[in-house]
A and B are shown apart, each in its own frame.
Chain A
Amino acid sequence: MIAALALVAGVVAGLILRPTVPGALEPYLPIAVVAALDAVFGGVRARLDGIFDSKVFVVSFISNVIVAALIVFLGDKLGVGAQLSTAVVVVLGIRIFSNAAAIRRHLFRA
């Protein structure tokens, strides 16, 4: 409940502030998005499993973003940034999908 409200509050804050993404951070935006979605789905799944933990939730989100960003940053320096960015998105995308599948199993028992 708190999480949902805070999520909405974050959306509203973003809509009000309308921050511009600096050019230097632009390549990391897709990574941040998939990491955020991964954290949401992982959190919801853990909540349904009854093992949700706030520390794990926050730390996993932030560390996922940072690690993914570092990988892509390193890739940018070595000239494979776009490919690594795709790799990160694919890995996190698979996680999102299977988490969504687990949530579906929880909710619909199917």
Chain B
Amino acid sequence: MSAPNSPMRPTGATRAVSPAQQLVDLVLNSHDPGYREAADRRQAAGGVLRWYDHPATAVGSLLIGFVLIVAYIHTNRAAPAAAKTHDSLVQRVHSAQDTADRLAARIAELNAQVNTVRGAGIGTGTLADRLAAAQLAAGQTAVTGPGLEVHLADPPVPKPGQDEDREGTTPIGATHLLTDADVRSVVNQLWADGAQAVSVNDIRITSTTSIRFAGEVVLVDFQSVTTPYVIRGIGAADELATGFAASAVAARYQTQSSALGIEFSFTERQKLTMPAGAPVSLRYAKGTTK
């Protein structure tokens, strides 16, 4: 079987080969000439098996198998490590969220206590009524009532197979269209249409609640909210719906929902419930009258 290789045997030192030819030989003639020479030598020696033949083959194969599996393990060990880091980050975020929820619940509990104690102190009367009204207006109490619910969501992320492109090839800008400005404009429109209480994904909006954007995530009152955004406004449902439907904001999202694929809808609700907002602490504004 050596015939096909003979023109390329680099052992023939007498033949003048150009460097280019040598390169071609190196690439094309993969056959290790060592095997051929060793076979020739052994032929000359009588072709007997030497004592180390089997052990050497075994050891060599063992080594090769070991190297290959070590590389395999090494490659696949890195992947779980990345997943582990991801999981631990997710866990930390979740535990931080749990802590935040627990603290929020504690705030609500303490606020209820404060209200009870204050109620007992003030008693019933105009003062108590005025306080209750002020708290209601400032968004410090959970409220319920009829209103309008606006549903705003990013277009769905294409699944692999559904599209020609693989998942991950769609730029984030193509599916994450909504920003804080969109949420804010809907919230402001609801206020403008006469809503008396507004919430975004069950986070109550008060006069000092911020709606910001950080790292592709909308932050409402420094809590991250993700698509779909459900923005609720309590008020006269009919007026809210009419005013909102006629607004430039609604027109804009109607257009975007047909052009860019975002989800946009609004419905009147007979009963909406919202939690109390975070306590308002004014740090700069001071009252001018007592």
A interface vs B, CB < 8 Å?
A: 2-11, 13-15, 18-21, 26, 29-30, 32-33, 36-37, 39-40, 42-43, 45-46, 48-62, 91, 94-99, 102, 106
Taking a contact as CB atoms under 8 Å apart, the answer to whether A10 and B57 are in contact is no
Selected interface stretch from B27-35, B85-93, B126-134, B263-271:
B27-35
Taking a contact as CB atoms under 8 Å apart, the answer to whether A98 and B30 are in contact is yes
Task: From known contacts A19-B70, A46-B32, infer whether A54 and B56 are also in contact, taking CB-CB under 8 Å.
Answer: yes
Task: From known contacts A54-B53, A56-B35, A98-B30, infer whether A14 and B69 are also in contact, taking CB-CB under 8 Å.
Answer: yes
How many residues of chain B get a CB closer than 8 Å to chain A's CBs? 38
Enumerate chain A residues within 8 angstroms of B61, measured Cβ to Cβ: 2-7, 10
Complex Cα distance, B99 from A24, in Å, reads 42
Complex Cα distance, B148 from A92, in Å, reads 69
Enumerate chain A residues within 8 angstroms of B74, measured Cβ to Cβ: 20-21, 26, 29
Complex Cα distance, B27 from A16, in Å, reads 38
7 smallest CB-CB distances across A and B, nearest first, come from A10-B65, A14-B69, A51-B39, A6-B61, A53-B38, A98-B30, A54-B56
Taking a contact as CB atoms under 8 Å apart, the answer to whether A13 and B62 are in contact is yes
Taking a contact as CB atoms under 8 Å apart, the answer to whether A2 and B57 are in contact is yes
B259 at the interface (CB under 8 A from A): no
Taking a contact as CB atoms under 8 Å apart, the answer to whether B39 and A9 are in contact is no
Query: Nearest A residue to B63 by beta-carbon distance?
Result: A10
What is the minimal beta-carbon distance from A40 to any residue of chain B, in angstroms? 6
The one of A10, A15, A21, A30 in contact with B64, judged by C-beta atoms closer than 8 angstroms, is A10
Complex Cα distance, B38 from A99, in Å, reads 18
Enumerate chain B residues within 8 angstroms of A102, measured Cβ to Cβ: 30-31
| Besides A11-B68, A33-B71, 18 other A-B contacts (C-beta < 8 A) | A6-B61, A10-B68, A10-B69, A13-B66, A14-B68, A14-B70, A19-B73, A29-B71, A50-B39, A53-B39, A54-B56, A56-B35, A58-B59, A59-B34, A61-B63, A94-B27, A98-B28, A99-B30
The one of A15, A56, A95 in contact with B69, judged by C-beta atoms closer than 8 angstroms, is A15
Majority SS of interface residues in chain A? helix
B80 at the interface (CB under 8 A from A): no
Query: Nearest A residue to B74 by beta-carbon distance?
Result: A21
Q: Would you list 24 pairs from A and B whose C-beta atoms are within 8 A, ordered by A residue?
A: A2-B54, A5-B61, A6-B65, A7-B64, A14-B66, A14-B72, A19-B70, A19-B73, A29-B71, A32-B71, A36-B64, A39-B64, A40-B64, A46-B32, A46-B35, A51-B35, A51-B36, A51-B38, A54-B52, A58-B57, A60-B32, A97-B30, A98-B27, A99-B31
B67 at the interface (CB under 8 A from A): yes
Enumerate chain B residues within 8 angstroms of A37, measured Cβ to Cβ: 68
B106 at the interface (CB under 8 A from A): no
Taking a contact as CB atoms under 8 Å apart, the answer to whether A56 and B2 are in contact is no
